[in-house]
Chain A
Amino acid sequence: MSQALTFRYEIDGDDFTRAGEASSSMKNKLKQLGLDSDVIRKVAIAMYEGEINMVIHADGGKITVTVSDTEITMVLSDTGPGIPDVEKAMQEGYSTARAEVRSLGFGAGMGLPNMKKYTDEMQIDTTVGRGTTITMKVYI
Protein backbone atom coordinates (compact mmCIF):
# COMPACT_ATOMS: atom_id res chain seq x y z
CA MET A 1 0.00 0.00 0.00
CA SER A 2 1.50 3.37 -0.90
CA GLN A 3 -1.55 5.59 -0.61
CA ALA A 4 -2.98 6.04 2.88
CA LEU A 5 -6.42 4.53 3.49
CA THR A 6 -9.06 6.39 5.50
CA PHE A 7 -12.00 4.88 7.40
CA ARG A 8 -14.77 6.94 9.01
CA TYR A 9 -17.26 5.95 11.70
CA GLU A 10 -20.22 7.70 13.35
CA ILE A 11 -20.67 6.64 16.97
CA ASP A 12 -24.21 6.54 18.33
CA GLY A 13 -24.33 7.91 21.87
CA ASP A 14 -27.65 6.41 22.88
CA ASP A 15 -27.01 2.73 22.45
CA PHE A 16 -24.55 1.12 24.83
CA THR A 17 -25.23 -2.34 23.40
CA ARG A 18 -23.87 -1.21 20.02
CA ALA A 19 -20.75 0.44 21.45
CA GLY A 20 -17.71 -1.24 19.95
CA GLU A 21 -19.16 -1.84 16.50
CA ALA A 22 -16.76 0.65 14.93
CA SER A 23 -13.72 -0.85 16.68
CA SER A 24 -14.82 -4.32 15.67
CA SER A 25 -15.22 -3.28 12.03
CA MET A 26 -11.85 -1.51 12.08
CA LYS A 27 -10.14 -4.55 13.57
CA ASN A 28 -11.54 -6.66 10.73
CA LYS A 29 -10.27 -4.23 8.10
CA LEU A 30 -6.77 -4.22 9.61
CA LYS A 31 -6.78 -8.02 9.54
CA GLN A 32 -7.76 -7.95 5.87
CA LEU A 33 -4.86 -5.59 5.22
CA GLY A 34 -2.59 -8.26 6.68
CA LEU A 35 -1.11 -6.11 9.44
CA ASP A 36 0.83 -7.61 12.35
CA SER A 37 -1.46 -9.01 15.06
CA ASP A 38 0.26 -7.04 17.86
CA VAL A 39 -0.28 -3.79 15.97
CA ILE A 40 -3.92 -4.73 15.35
CA ARG A 41 -4.51 -5.54 19.03
CA LYS A 42 -3.04 -2.21 20.16
CA VAL A 43 -5.26 -0.27 17.74
CA ALA A 44 -8.32 -2.33 18.67
CA ILE A 45 -7.91 -1.84 22.43
CA ALA A 46 -7.16 1.90 22.20
CA MET A 47 -9.99 2.59 19.75
CA TYR A 48 -12.48 0.51 21.75
CA GLU A 49 -11.65 2.36 24.99
CA GLY A 50 -12.10 5.64 23.14
CA GLU A 51 -15.33 4.52 21.53
CA ILE A 52 -16.76 3.41 24.89
CA ASN A 53 -15.74 6.77 26.40
CA MET A 54 -17.61 8.60 23.64
CA VAL A 55 -20.75 6.62 24.39
CA ILE A 56 -20.67 6.84 28.20
CA HIS A 57 -19.24 10.34 28.63
CA ALA A 58 -19.98 12.34 25.47
CA ASP A 59 -23.17 11.14 23.78
CA GLY A 60 -21.34 9.75 20.74
CA GLY A 61 -19.06 11.30 18.15
CA LYS A 62 -16.94 10.55 15.10
CA ILE A 63 -13.86 8.40 14.58
CA THR A 64 -11.50 8.67 11.62
CA VAL A 65 -8.75 6.11 11.15
CA THR A 66 -5.95 6.57 8.63
CA VAL A 67 -3.65 3.71 7.72
CA SER A 68 -0.34 4.54 6.03
CA ASP A 69 2.75 2.43 5.42
CA THR A 70 4.32 3.52 8.68
CA GLU A 71 1.53 4.26 11.15
CA ILE A 72 -2.15 4.06 12.05
CA THR A 73 -3.71 7.33 13.18
CA MET A 74 -7.02 7.43 15.07
CA VAL A 75 -8.85 10.71 15.58
CA LEU A 76 -11.83 10.54 17.95
CA SER A 77 -13.86 13.71 18.20
CA ASP A 78 -17.02 14.48 20.10
CA THR A 79 -19.09 17.49 21.02
CA GLY A 80 -19.65 16.30 24.58
CA PRO A 81 -18.95 18.06 27.89
CA GLY A 82 -15.16 18.17 27.53
CA ILE A 83 -12.64 17.18 30.22
CA PRO A 84 -12.03 19.89 32.87
CA ASP A 85 -8.78 18.44 34.25
CA VAL A 86 -6.93 16.25 31.74
CA GLU A 87 -4.07 15.44 34.10
CA LYS A 88 -6.54 14.06 36.63
CA ALA A 89 -8.50 12.18 33.98
CA MET A 90 -5.29 10.47 32.86
CA GLN A 91 -4.71 9.00 36.33
CA GLU A 92 -5.57 5.35 36.82
CA GLY A 93 -8.74 5.02 38.86
CA TYR A 94 -10.12 8.50 38.22
CA SER A 95 -13.66 8.25 36.87
CA THR A 96 -16.80 10.35 36.84
CA ALA A 97 -18.86 7.46 35.47
CA ARG A 98 -22.30 6.94 37.01
CA ALA A 99 -23.13 3.81 39.03
CA GLU A 100 -25.19 2.57 36.10
CA VAL A 101 -22.09 2.55 33.87
CA ARG A 102 -20.19 0.60 36.52
CA SER A 103 -22.90 -2.04 36.61
CA LEU A 104 -22.29 -2.48 32.86
CA GLY A 105 -18.62 -3.30 33.51
CA PHE A 106 -17.00 0.09 32.85
CA GLY A 107 -16.11 3.18 34.82
CA ALA A 108 -12.99 2.02 36.66
CA GLY A 109 -10.97 4.96 35.39
CA MET A 110 -8.66 2.78 33.33
CA GLY A 111 -9.54 3.78 29.76
CA LEU A 112 -7.44 6.88 29.12
CA PRO A 113 -4.29 5.44 30.81
CA ASN A 114 -4.82 2.27 28.79
CA MET A 115 -5.11 4.23 25.53
CA LYS A 116 -1.79 5.88 26.37
CA LYS A 117 -0.20 2.53 27.20
CA TYR A 118 -1.23 0.88 23.93
CA THR A 119 -0.35 3.71 21.56
CA ASP A 120 2.93 5.35 20.55
CA GLU A 121 1.55 8.90 20.57
CA MET A 122 -1.55 10.36 22.20
CA GLN A 123 -2.82 13.90 22.33
CA ILE A 124 -5.97 15.23 24.01
CA ASP A 125 -7.54 18.53 22.90
CA THR A 126 -10.55 19.40 24.98
CA THR A 127 -12.69 22.41 25.84
CA VAL A 128 -15.29 22.31 28.58
CA GLY A 129 -18.76 22.68 27.07
CA ARG A 130 -17.43 22.20 23.53
CA GLY A 131 -16.04 18.70 23.25
CA THR A 132 -12.97 16.52 23.07
CA THR A 133 -10.67 15.38 20.28
CA ILE A 134 -8.21 12.59 21.01
CA THR A 135 -5.53 11.73 18.46
CA MET A 136 -3.61 8.48 18.81
CA LYS A 137 -0.90 6.90 16.66
CA VAL A 138 0.36 3.34 16.57
CA TYR A 139 3.57 2.80 14.58
CA ILE A 140 3.65 -0.14 12.21
Chain B
Amino acid sequence: MTIREMQEVLDARFLYGEEMADLDVEFVFSADMMSDVLAYGSRCSVLITGLCNPQVVRTAEMLDIVCIIFVRGKMPDENMLALAVGKGIAILATEHYMFTACGILYEHGLRGGA
Protein backbone atom coordinates (compact mmCIF):
# COMPACT_ATOMS: atom_id res chain seq x y z
CA MET B 1 0.00 0.00 0.00
CA THR B 2 1.31 3.49 -0.77
CA ILE B 3 1.20 6.54 1.49
CA ARG B 4 -1.37 8.05 -0.90
CA GLU B 5 -3.60 4.99 -0.54
CA MET B 6 -3.37 5.20 3.26
CA GLN B 7 -4.33 8.86 3.06
CA GLU B 8 -7.39 8.00 0.97
CA VAL B 9 -8.74 5.10 3.04
CA LEU B 10 -8.25 7.06 6.29
CA ASP B 11 -9.77 10.29 4.94
CA ALA B 12 -6.53 11.84 6.10
CA ARG B 13 -4.86 15.12 5.25
CA PHE B 14 -1.28 15.50 4.14
CA LEU B 15 0.39 17.90 6.56
CA TYR B 16 3.88 17.36 5.16
CA GLY B 17 5.78 15.35 2.58
CA GLU B 18 3.18 14.86 -0.15
CA GLU B 19 6.04 14.26 -2.60
CA MET B 20 6.51 10.90 -0.86
CA ALA B 21 2.92 9.81 -1.65
CA ASP B 22 3.91 6.97 -3.99
CA LEU B 23 6.22 5.28 -1.51
CA ASP B 24 5.21 1.72 -0.64
CA VAL B 25 4.80 0.74 3.03
CA GLU B 26 4.18 -2.64 4.64
CA PHE B 27 4.64 -2.71 8.42
CA VAL B 28 2.93 -0.44 10.92
CA PHE B 29 3.38 0.27 14.63
CA SER B 30 0.81 2.09 16.73
CA ALA B 31 1.41 3.52 20.22
CA ASP B 32 1.22 6.63 22.33
CA MET B 33 4.37 5.69 24.25
CA MET B 34 7.49 6.58 22.28
CA SER B 35 9.39 4.26 24.66
CA ASP B 36 7.48 1.35 23.12
CA VAL B 37 7.98 2.56 19.57
CA LEU B 38 11.74 2.75 20.14
CA ALA B 39 11.80 -0.68 21.75
CA TYR B 40 9.54 -2.59 19.37
CA GLY B 41 8.97 -0.54 16.22
CA SER B 42 12.31 -0.78 14.49
CA ARG B 43 11.03 -2.96 11.62
CA CYS B 44 8.15 -0.63 10.84
CA SER B 45 7.91 2.16 8.30
CA VAL B 46 4.62 3.70 9.53
CA LEU B 47 3.80 5.08 13.00
CA ILE B 48 0.19 5.66 14.10
CA THR B 49 -0.08 7.73 17.27
CA GLY B 50 -2.34 9.96 19.34
CA LEU B 51 0.63 11.62 21.03
CA CYS B 52 1.46 15.02 19.63
CA ASN B 53 4.84 16.48 20.61
CA PRO B 54 8.23 17.00 18.91
CA GLN B 55 9.58 13.69 20.22
CA VAL B 56 7.14 11.81 17.97
CA VAL B 57 8.95 13.19 14.92
CA ARG B 58 12.37 12.60 16.52
CA THR B 59 11.46 9.01 17.33
CA ALA B 60 10.32 8.42 13.74
CA GLU B 61 13.55 9.93 12.49
CA MET B 62 15.75 7.62 14.59
CA LEU B 63 13.86 4.52 13.40
CA ASP B 64 13.81 5.53 9.68
CA ILE B 65 10.00 5.62 9.79
CA VAL B 66 8.70 7.18 6.55
CA CYS B 67 5.14 8.14 7.59
CA ILE B 68 3.55 9.38 10.83
CA ILE B 69 -0.24 9.27 11.09
CA PHE B 70 -1.80 11.40 13.85
CA VAL B 71 -5.21 10.09 14.92
CA ARG B 72 -8.31 11.62 16.55
CA GLY B 73 -7.73 15.00 15.00
CA LYS B 74 -4.38 15.71 16.67
CA MET B 75 -2.65 18.58 14.88
CA PRO B 76 1.12 18.97 15.05
CA ASP B 77 2.23 22.61 15.11
CA GLU B 78 4.66 24.35 12.74
CA ASN B 79 7.66 23.56 14.93
CA MET B 80 6.87 19.86 14.88
CA LEU B 81 6.39 19.82 11.12
CA ALA B 82 9.69 21.68 10.71
CA LEU B 83 11.46 18.75 12.37
CA ALA B 84 10.38 16.49 9.51
CA VAL B 85 11.98 18.68 6.84
CA GLY B 86 14.75 16.89 5.00
CA LYS B 87 14.21 13.69 7.01
CA GLY B 88 12.14 11.74 4.48
CA ILE B 89 9.08 11.66 6.75
CA ALA B 90 5.54 12.25 5.47
CA ILE B 91 2.92 13.40 8.00
CA LEU B 92 -0.80 12.62 7.82
CA ALA B 93 -3.68 13.54 10.16
CA THR B 94 -7.01 11.72 10.39
CA GLU B 95 -10.14 12.24 12.49
CA HIS B 96 -10.43 8.48 13.12
CA TYR B 97 -9.61 7.10 16.56
CA MET B 98 -6.59 4.85 16.92
CA PHE B 99 -8.49 1.53 16.84
CA THR B 100 -10.46 2.45 13.75
CA ALA B 101 -7.44 3.81 11.90
CA CYS B 102 -5.50 0.60 12.63
CA GLY B 103 -8.46 -1.56 11.64
CA ILE B 104 -8.90 0.18 8.30
CA LEU B 105 -5.23 -0.24 7.40
CA TYR B 106 -5.28 -3.88 8.53
CA GLU B 107 -8.28 -4.53 6.31
CA HIS B 108 -6.30 -3.13 3.43
CA GLY B 109 -3.48 -5.59 4.00
CA LEU B 110 -1.03 -3.74 6.23
CA ARG B 111 0.42 -5.66 9.17
CA GLY B 112 2.21 -5.01 12.45
CA GLY B 113 5.94 -5.48 12.34
CA ALA B 114 6.80 -6.29 15.92
Q: Which residues from chain A sit less than 8 Å from chain B, CB to CB?
A: 16-20, 23-24, 27, 37, 41, 44-45, 48-49, 52, 92, 102, 104-111, 113-114
Q: How many A-B residue pairs have CB under 8 A?
A: 69
B51 to chain A, nearest CB (A): 5
Residues of B within 8 A of A (CB): 32-36, 38-39, 42, 51, 53-56, 58-59, 61-64, 79
A108 touches B33 (CB 8 A): yes
CB-contact partner of B35 in A24, A27, A37, A110, under 8 A:
A110
Q: Is the Cβ of B38 less than 8 Å from the Cβ of A48?
A: yes
Residue of B nearest to A21 (CB): B58
A106 surroundings in chain B (CB, below 8 A)? 33-35, 55
Q: Does B35 lie within 8 Å of A17, measured CB to CB?
A: no
Q: Are A20 and B53 in contact (CB under 8 A)?
A: no
Decide if A20 touches B55 in the complex (CB within 8 Å): yes
Contact A114 B38 (CB under 8 A): yes
Given contacts A17-B53, A106-B33, contact A24 B58 (CB under 8 A): yes
CB distance from B62 to the nearest CB of A (A): 4
Contact A105–B58 (Cβ < 8 Å): no
Q: Which single member of A20, A107, A111, A113 contacts B58 (CB below 8 Å)?
A: A20
Known: A45-B42, A102-B33. 6 other contacts (CB 8 A): A19-B58, A41-B62, A105-B53, A108-B36, A110-B36, A111-B38
Contacts of B33 in A (CB 8 A): 102, 105-106, 108
Among B39, B56, B64, the residue within 8 A (CB) of A110 is B39
Task: Indicate whether A48 sits within 8 Å of B62 (C-beta atoms), given known contacts A108-B35, A110-B38.
Answer: yes
Report Cα–Cα, A45/B59, bound state, in Å. Answer: 8
Q: B54 contacts A105, CB within 8 Å?
A: no
Residues of A within 8 A of B53 (CB): 17, 104-105
In the bound complex, CA of A111 to CA of B42 (Å): 14
Which A residues touch B62, using CB under 8 A? 20, 23-24, 27, 41, 44-45, 48
